[in-house]
Structure 1
């Protein structure tokens, strides 16, 4: 790194700051144009009754509408009678699952989780809100490295076999947050069949991006719920999903699927906190999406809006950082995020420089438990919300920040 190169990098950054940008890439939010595609839900005619003739304006129906569960059952790989449709947030269901297990006794357990210290395995990089739930309840977190096939199963199998206090693992199996990793069939099979010291071990299978393909290829994953049952672990899997990034982010429908025993356990607890979900909202979804083919058609429309944004990110990063040795990044086939990796020790500095230039990013370290990325090199990019001109400005500005931090690091020796 020459003095001239460092000087040029600083000049580029000063010019970026002088633009007075105000851009936000912090969260994976649907754009207004994505949300507009679901506006037809607000115009659905007809009676407020289910296919079975139930008045949906009234109490009841904790399981959710069967016709809506049927639309999502194949995508989530859960039989309809083992799938529940609930409120608008799958994160809320994951939070509830932890609370119910802490304060109750899950099938197969000898005691409540709250009666002993427990640990969750956390594939990294991973979803910061999973980690926040654990922190909220004092659950210890053990990082597990991600591989191109999912979590490092050699590490997972060794840990769960040795420690009965390890009660769960967080998994985003398809187009994972933030890498876009798709779990291989071998990984899913090993998760289903591995021996665990805890008889009440649970896999929190957050299949948030089950239908969020960016290409015409609908990537498939092995059926964990069926495999676990086939190999003698029917209660191991908690499946979560939602329509929040499909229809309206604030008014979607969340789903919970599992074994019959776990479903009975769940309903016994949730019946104490609710007299039923918003069934009229569920009916709107049924009438708008119609069936599984209708869901697929809608997702293709969403992909047509989202795909160009991922292409913009890849194009700019390639043009501005390709071949520099300062960064690498993922090119996912689906999902909502791109992971940018910078040299070790640089992520926090890059995020700080970007913030100083008016570009808000998810905090460096958010992809790891306790906000601590030991290598300080992972940055999550959420490209879905901005319109292309804003996204181009943000990614180009981010590249400027990476070049400056890289130049300063090299100059410092």
Structure 2
């Protein structure tokens, strides 16, 4: 990554970076890029939800949504999301407001009850491990750490996890019970899985008969271009390969409507769906069907959901464009950093020189710019290269975002040139 510089050029660039950083610190900024939250303007797009269902309390099949029951969720809401999540309506559950909660519950249930195809509960086994593509999503890693599940890093490629590594590991080690996947516009790299990656995940041999792919399709509808990325149907591919029970599909409306009061989805094989329903029946008599009906009325159908996401895109795309423009203007050609311009999702992964990410984040914090901690993109918060920084452009206003990214590039230049001069 590093560009060779003469001693004189490096001295000049370092002095300029130091002056720019001093100027940055004197501005006494207070900017926050830590989490990928929807902005208030994005949330405003769903304000009509707050007045729904407007006295209506009957679902399409006659269900009184005010009462108990309906663990699988409203069929008409599942119909809206079945296509984008690539799960047949009959195999899709609509639950509470958080897909992370569903992932948590699936791990707990797998620990405490026998999965379809399993020989015993996970908790009864000596060791459990998950493959973790990196850079990846810190909350996935936090779940594993919470339950004492070993995490094994797998490098990401432009097509998804390195399948040569994945296939070798899962074939050798029966303790490897799963892999975390964000298959479309991944967090934070913006990678979308290729058809070959999907096919190999579906058909690979695993030493564990109860191996599961946690398919967190969080950004299934979150496009940023006129050419939405489409990925292959993993659930169908697994069934065709004779591994129907291999995949758990997760999704939600958290970044579609309102983050705190959305609807989460789980999809899988009929056997896995019945397994989850059976276990969930012990902890709940049914989800919030009033909120589900509210979403049905608001979104109307799959076309209505796509139209709503175009309004979301109109707010998000200028922010991602600004990030790409500023990074290219300030860091392009320097050899100090690389990045990708994602076609969707919520994040930008900035890769700085090895050994520099923590120091960049520290300098940014001292200048009033809060970033996600360096290392959050890796299990246990440990990026062995100390190179990845996750940028979350969604929440700040455009002008505030531009100031934050400009300040971040100052810190990248300062730390990078200091490292080269040391």
TM (normalized to structure 1)? 0.99
Cα deviations by residue, 1:234-280 (Å, 9 ceiling, x for unpaired): 10000000000000000000000000000110011111111111111
Structure 1 residues 12 and 95, CA, compared in 2 at 3 Å: closer, same or farther?
same
Could you tell me which runs of 5 or more consecutive residues in structure 2 were left unpaired when the two chains were aligned.
1-8
Task: Specify the alignment match of 2:284 in structure 1.
Answer: 274
- Aligned residue among 14, 27, 31 for 1:23: 31
Counterpart of 1:221? 231
Structure 2 partner of 1:154: 164
Distance 2:232 2:64 in 1: 38
- Please give the root-mean-square deviation of Cα atoms over the aligned residues, in Å: 0.8
Alpha-carbon offset, residue 15 of structure 1: 1.1
Q: Secondary structure at the match of 2:111?
A: helix
Say yes or no: does 1:54 pair with 2:63: yes
Please list the CA deviations of residues 347-390 of structure 1 after superposition, one character each: whole Å capped at 9, or x if unmatched: 00000000001101011011011111111110000000000010
2:87 maps to 78
Determine helix, strand or coil for the equivalent of 2:274: helix
Partner of 1:66: 75
Taking the aligned partners of 1:283 and 1:340, their CA distance within structure 2 comes to 40
Q: Write the distance in 1 (CA, Å) between the matches of 2:275 and 2:63.
A: 25
- Corresponding residue to 1:33 among 29, 41, 44: 41
SS in 1 for 2:242: coil
Of 327, 330, 339, which aligns to 2:349?
339
When the two structures are aligned, how many residues end up with a matched partner?
A: 412
2:272 and 2:244 map into 1 onto residues whose CA distance is 9
Q: Could you tell me which residue of structure 2 aligns to residue 133 of structure 1? A: 143
Partner residue, 2:254 = 244
**Separation in 1, partners of 2:374, 2:385:** 11
**C-alpha contact 2:228 2:343 (8 A) present in aligned 1:** no
Q: Which residue of structure 2 aligns with residue 321 of structure 1?
A: 331
What is the DSSP-based 3-state SS (H/G/I as helix, E as strand, rest coil) of the residue aligned with 1:227? helix
Q: How many Å apart are 1:218 and its aligned residue?
A: 2.0
For the residues of structure 1 that align with 2:160 and 2:225, how far apart are their CA atoms? 21
Partner of 2:188: 178
Alpha-carbon distance in 1 for matches of 2:43, 2:288: 20
Rounded to whole Å, the distance in 2 between the matches of 1:142 and 1:5 is 39
Of residues 179, 182, 188 in structure 2, which corresponds to 1:169?
179
Q: Counterparts of 1:336 and 1:315 in 2: how far apart (Å)? A: 17
- TM (normalized to structure 2)? 0.97
SS of the equivalent of 1:209 reads: coil
Q: CA deviation at 1:5?
A: 2.8
Could you tell me which residue of structure 1 aligns to residue 412 of structure 2?
Answer: 402
Following the alignment from structure 2 to structure 1, what is the Cα–Cα distance between the partners of residues 251 and 23?
Answer: 44
1-side partners of 2:11 and 2:215: how far apart?
Answer: 50
Q: Please give the alpha-carbon distance, in whole angstroms, between the structure 1 residues aligned to 2:363 and 2:350.
A: 15
Q: Distance in 1 between matches of 2:180 and 2:322?
A: 30
Q: Deviations over 1:206-254 (max 9, x none)?
A: 0000000001212110000011011110100000000000000000000
Deviations 1:49-104 (A, max 9, x none): 11111111111111010000000000000000100000000000000000000011
Mean alpha-carbon deviation: is it higher for 388-397 or for 217-226?
217-226
Counterpart residue number, 1:102: 111
Distance in 2 of aligned mates of 1:8 and 1:222: 48
Tell me the SS of whatever aligns to 2:229.
Answer: coil
Name 1:261's counterpart in structure 2: 271
